[in-house]
Structure 1
Amino acid sequence: MLVADGLHKSYPNRRVLCGVSLSVSPGEVLGIVGPNGSGKTTLLRLLTGEELPDKGEVRLDGRPLCDWSQREKARCLAVLPQEGLPSVPFTVREVVEMGRHPHQGFWPWAGERDRHVVESVLLETGLQADRDRHVDQLSGGERQRVAIAKAMAQDPRVLILDEPTTFLDIAHQLGMLDWIRSWSQREGIAVLIVLHDLNLAALYCDRILMLKEGTCFAQGSPSEILTPDRIRKVYGVQPVLTRHPVTHAPQVLLQPGAGDSSATKPAESFTL
């Protein structure tokens, strides 16, 4: 569905990405992880067409992304940027309805399909009770939930999210990621998600791409990627890994005092 081949991107005096390739298929959740400055946000800009790569190509549904019109792209691909939703003077329902604009005709009037999608998203994201509240009266976490709902209302085939759990408490983090994953599987949506939390990435992603200094350091299943040695080499911390007692996904435990100064110590882990 979404494929990137050999992406390179540089800015004056700084190389940001070098030869990054990836693909995400319908019904799959691909996680992008890596430390600050590893190129995650730049990679998303190339994947969404916000910027063009210096070298390499991004293809959406088999066509070069640069061949898609903005309206065509908006019907197929939804994006939730890292900064989320600004404080705007519209109601929650009105903002979620904005996600339907790419599917409407010359006159942007909501039809039966639009109303059905909006109501379904409000219900499944737990925003029904807040539908008539103005977004500029919401907290940062509440606005993030509305931004996710707006992206979902776009009814995309590909969903790209840059740190969607920002500002959310742990209950809402799990609720949103549960919904995104189940929606992806139910509707065959290809999801690409940037996460800083390695434990959430292990719990919710089918595959993980780990970036280091603009290159693809490793790519595979959470169990293949999240190892003590890889985490030490990429993040410069000495972790302890164990298995989640319910899902058996790898989980990262941090040790006080095991930062950069101890990054060269032998890797540790519990029996997995």
Structure 2
Amino acid sequence: MILSVNGIEFRYGCRTILENIGFTVQRGEFLSILGNNGAGKSTLLKTLNKILSPQQGNIFIGQQELSKLSRLAIALKMAYVAQNYGSNRQTVFDAVLLGRKPHIKWEATAADLSLVQGILVKTGLAEFALRYLDELSGGELQKVVIARALAQEPEVLLLDEPTSNLDLRNQMEVLKTIRTAAQEKNIAVVAVMHDLNLALRFSDKFLLLQDTKVFAAGGPEVMTAENITQAYGVPVSVDRVQNQMVVIPR
């Protein structure tokens, strides 16, 4: 088990955001965190990277407790892609190379440069390598940020809405790249997702949040019409189209 979350509780003042949250993720698994806006999805993701410290509970990466690790130790094990990010006068190649920073002692090696080039190819960014970030579209910039996280070679990859600002083709390409990396590199992926059908297509496990708590957790068996309807407050059907589960609002 690479990631274990036990009894996490988080509050802003007197307002409870997360209550008794627990789940596990193994290497190679893709877990989607789902739920309505305000359900605590992004807050939960930030506690997993020690950006926020929960008032109760603990989080383990392997056998190590997250709260006892330094920022560098966390960066060597975990990469985080935020929902919002800025751009600057930096090339795409250099931006992705920054993902190697936790591993670089003095200067980037030939192996570091080769790894970055390979990731640019896999994410469809090779042609943009020398373009500046402030010249990119929102979708292209988002792919750069994800590529930088993959360059970090984490054991756990945390993603906050990784397909926002992406068109359908790029949504599929990015999630396929993430899914392939999870399987080939044995990375655990935890992603906040809004698109239920993309989550169903690429995820192994699901965590449905509602009213600060875990409403349902598990594999595809928990993604029933009844659970989704209750968690989101919208009547849906769950059908199969070409052997793929599909959520259809009614």
The alignment's TM-score, normalised by the length of structure 1, stands at: 0.89
Matched residues, percent identical? 39
Structure 2: gaps (5+ residues): none
What are the superposed Cα offsets for residues 2-54 of structure 1, whole Å, 9 maximum, x if unpaired? Answer: 11100011112311111000111111111110001111011111111011111
Task: Report the aligned-residue RMSD.
Answer: 0.9
How far apart in 1 are the matches of 2:235 and 2:160?
A: 26
Give 3-state SS (helix, strand or coil) of 2:157's partner. strand
Partner of 2:184 in structure 1? Answer: 186
2:35 corresponds to: 34
State the match for 2:168 in structure 1: 170
Distance 2:119 2:17 in 1: 36
* AA partner of residue 198 (structure 1): L
CA distance in 2, matches of 1:20, 1:77: 20
CA distance in structure 2 between the aligned counterparts of 1:32 and 1:17, rounded to whole angstroms: 13
Superposition deviation, residue 244 in structure 1: 2.8
Show CA shifts across 1:192-228 (max 9, x none): 1110011011110001010001101001112x12211
Residue identity in the other structure for 1:3:
S
Counterpart-to-counterpart distance in 1, 2:70 and 2:241: 44
Q: Which residue of 2 aligns with 1:148?
A: 146
Q: Distance in 2 between matches of 1:68 and 1:249?
A: 40
Residues 236-247 of structure 1: matches in 2 within 5 Å?
A: 236-245=233-242
Instruction: Name the SS for the 1:121 alignment partner.
Output: helix
Look up the SS of the partner of 1:50 in the other structure: coil
| 1:31 aligned counterpart, secondary structure | strand
**Structure 2 residue identity aligned to 1:122:** L
Q: How many residues align?
A: 249
CA distance in 2 between counterparts of 1:122 and 1:45 reads 26
Contact 1:9 1:17 in 2 (8 A): yes
Please give the secondary structure, in 2, of the residue aligned with 1:15.
strand
Q: Indicate yes or no: 2:98 matched with 1:102.
A: no
SS for the counterpart of 2:140 is helix
Instruction: Note the 1:106-145 alignment, pairs <5 A.
Output: 107=106, 109-145=107-143
Q: Within 2, Cα distance between the matches of 1:64 and 1:132? A: 40
Please point out which of 231, 234, 253 is paired with 2:248. 253
Q: Which structure has the larger Rg? A: 1
State the partner residue of 2:92: 92
C-alpha separation in 1, matches of 2:15 and 2:169:
39
Residue 86 of structure 2 corresponds to residue 60 of structure 1 = no
CA distance in 1, matches of 2:142, 2:241: 28
CA distance in 1, matches of 2:16, 2:122: 42
How far apart are 1:130 and its partner, in Å?
Answer: 0.5
CA distance in 2, matches of 1:244, 1:7: 37
Task: Show the counterpart of 1:15.
Answer: 16
Q: Which runs of 4+ in 1 moved over 3 A?
A: none
Alpha-carbon contact 1:77-1:159 (below 8 Å) kept: yes
